[in-house]
């Protein structure tokens, strides 16, 4: 992106243009929010297609390979911004451990407050010169709503803010420094001075996933990144991520994605090159 912020309305005219000239799967150097208020579009992420039920906000992280395919009734907004434009938000942090981030939002909020914020941002973005400080504050209002949605959708809101959530967040921070190592639940439990059983119970209560699932998801996200952005062989990538055997790495990757690392690379590298 040549500018730090862009907003575009998903209008009937834009939808007709996209349907006539559908975009190929691609990735970009910015963050993207796709706010879907009406219609039934599909969203392709790493060649896995999902039908979208509005109202919803789709968060597309920088570098993610995706394609948004509207139907004729799709309406909403697209907001693009650089990572430097907005400081790291809570929902960005959790997105590193999930395959995709679709936020269900209240229809009344979506058609009133959310729509009003987007209309204001569109007007500000069309001003000359653009006041990016105003746009930053308006976008922060939407991101604050998303952080609240994160706690409701991906975290148990009954325990948000309590000691379990604090413990879980500490685990994720430790994981970020160690996920490439060939270690499991016992390693992280020892780091946190607690039993593996208790750590797993907290993970299930807070995130609805086991510690092993979260570790594998984080490895998988990095595996995809390395397959697309490096010349390393599949064996080298597997070894870097703590898999001593290529066959085991391939089995884990296939179980999670439905394809092998080699096929994944062949499918996506021509698209993003």
Q: Is residue 179 part of a domain?
A: yes
Give the count of beta carbons closer than 10 Å to the beta carbon of residue 98.
Answer: 17
In a shared domain, residues 263 and 168: yes
Picking from 100, 125, 153, the residue at the C-terminal end of a domain is 153
Q: Is the whole-model pTM more than 0.75?
A: no
Q: Among 61, 85, 77, which Cα is nearest to 4's? A: 85
CA–CA distance, 70 with 13 (Å, rounded to integer)? 12
Strand partners, 44: 49, 67
Tokens of 201: 């119970």
End residue of a domain, out of 110, 135, 153: 153
How far is residue 97's CA from residue 156's CA, in Å, rounded to a whole number?
16
Residue 44 shares a structural domain with residue 108:
yes
34 and 57 in contact (C-beta within 8 Å)?
Answer: yes
Residues 59, 13 share a domain: yes
Per-residue pLDDT of the chain (273 residues; tens, 9 = 90+): 889 999 999 999 999 999 998 888 888 888 899 999 999 999 987 667 889 999 988 888 877 778 899 999 999 999 999 888 876 555 555 666 665 577 777 888 877 888 899 999 999 999 999 999 899 888 888 887 776 666 665 555 555 457 887 888 889 889 989 999 999 999 999 999 999 999 999 888 877 789 998 999 889 888 988 887 889 999 999 999 999 899 999 999 998 888 899 988 887 766 555
Domain at 92, CATH number:
2.60.120.280
Q: Is residue 267 part of a domain?
A: yes
In this structure, is residue 158 part of a structural domain?
no
pLDDT for 109 equals 80
The set of residues, in sequence order, having a beta carbon less than 8 Å from that of 44 and lying 6+ positions away, is: 25, 50, 66, 67, 68, 69
Please state, in angstroms and rounded to a whole number, the distance separating the CA atoms of residues 219 and 66.
20
d(CA 91, CA 139) in angstroms, rounded, equals 14
Whether residue 76 sits in one domain with residue 51: yes
DSSP-derived secondary structure for 218-230? HHHHHHHHHHHH-
Residues 132 and 175 in one domain: no
On whether residue 92 sits in a domain, the answer given is: yes
**Domain shared by 16 and 149, yes or no:** yes
* In the chain, beta strands by DSSP E: 5-10, 31-38, 42-45, 48-51, 56-60, 66-69, 75-81, 101-104
The count of domains in the chain is 2
Domain boundary among 98, 128, 153: 153
Range of the domain at 147: 5-153
CATH number at residue 192: 1.10.10.60
How far apart (Å, rounded) are the C-alpha atoms in residues 18 and 137? 30
Same domain (yes/no): 123, 168: no
Report which secondary-structure segment, H or E, holds 201.
Answer: helix 196-207
| Within-domain flag for 190 | yes
Residue 91 buriedness (CB in 10 A; 0-12 / 13-18 / 19+):
buried
49: in domain = yes
147 and 173 housed in the same domain: no
Q: 193 and 216 in one domain? A: yes
- In our burial notation (b when 16+ CB lie closer than 10 A, e otherwise), range 11-40 reads eeeebeebeeeeeebebbebbbbbbbbebe
Specify whether 168 is located in the same domain as 143: no
Same domain for 74 and 201:
no
pLDDT of residue 206: 79
Q: Please count the helices (runs of H) and the strands (runs of E) in the chain.
A: 12, 8
């Amino acid at each position: 992106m040549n500018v730090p912020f862009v907003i575009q309305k998903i209008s009937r005219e834009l939808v007709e243009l996209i349907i006539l000239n559908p975009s190929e799967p691609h990735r970009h150097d910015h963050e993207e929010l796709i706010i879907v208020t009406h219609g039934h579009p599909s969203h392709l992420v790493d060649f896995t297609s999902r039908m979208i039920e509005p109202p919803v906000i789709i968060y597309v992280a920088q570098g993610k390979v995706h394609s948004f395919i509207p139907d004729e009734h799709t309406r909403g907004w697209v907001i693009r911004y650089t990572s430097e434009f907005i400081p790291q938000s809570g929902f960005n942090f959790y997105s590193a451990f999930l395959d995709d981030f679709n936020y269900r939002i209240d229809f009344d909020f979506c058609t009133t407050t959310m729509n009003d914020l987007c209309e204001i941002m569109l007007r500000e973005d069309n001003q000359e010169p653009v006041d990016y400080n105003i746009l930053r504050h308006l976008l922060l209002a939407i991101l604050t709503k998303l952080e609240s949605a994160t706690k409701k959708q991906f975290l148990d809101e009954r325990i948000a803010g309590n000691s379990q959530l604090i413990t879980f967040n500490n685990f994720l921070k430790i994981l970020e420094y160690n996920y490439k190592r060939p270690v499991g639940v016992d390693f992280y439990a020892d780091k946190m001075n607690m039993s593996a059983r208790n750590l797993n119970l907290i993970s299930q209560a807070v995130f609805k996933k086991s510690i092993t699932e979260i570790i594998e998801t984080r490895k998988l996200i990095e595996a995809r990144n390395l397959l697309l952005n490096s010349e390393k062989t599949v064996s080298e990538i597997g070894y870097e991520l703590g898999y001593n055997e290529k066959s085991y790495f391939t089995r884990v990757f296939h179980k999670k994605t439905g394809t092998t690392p080699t096929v994944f690379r062949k499918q996506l590298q021509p698209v993003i090159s």
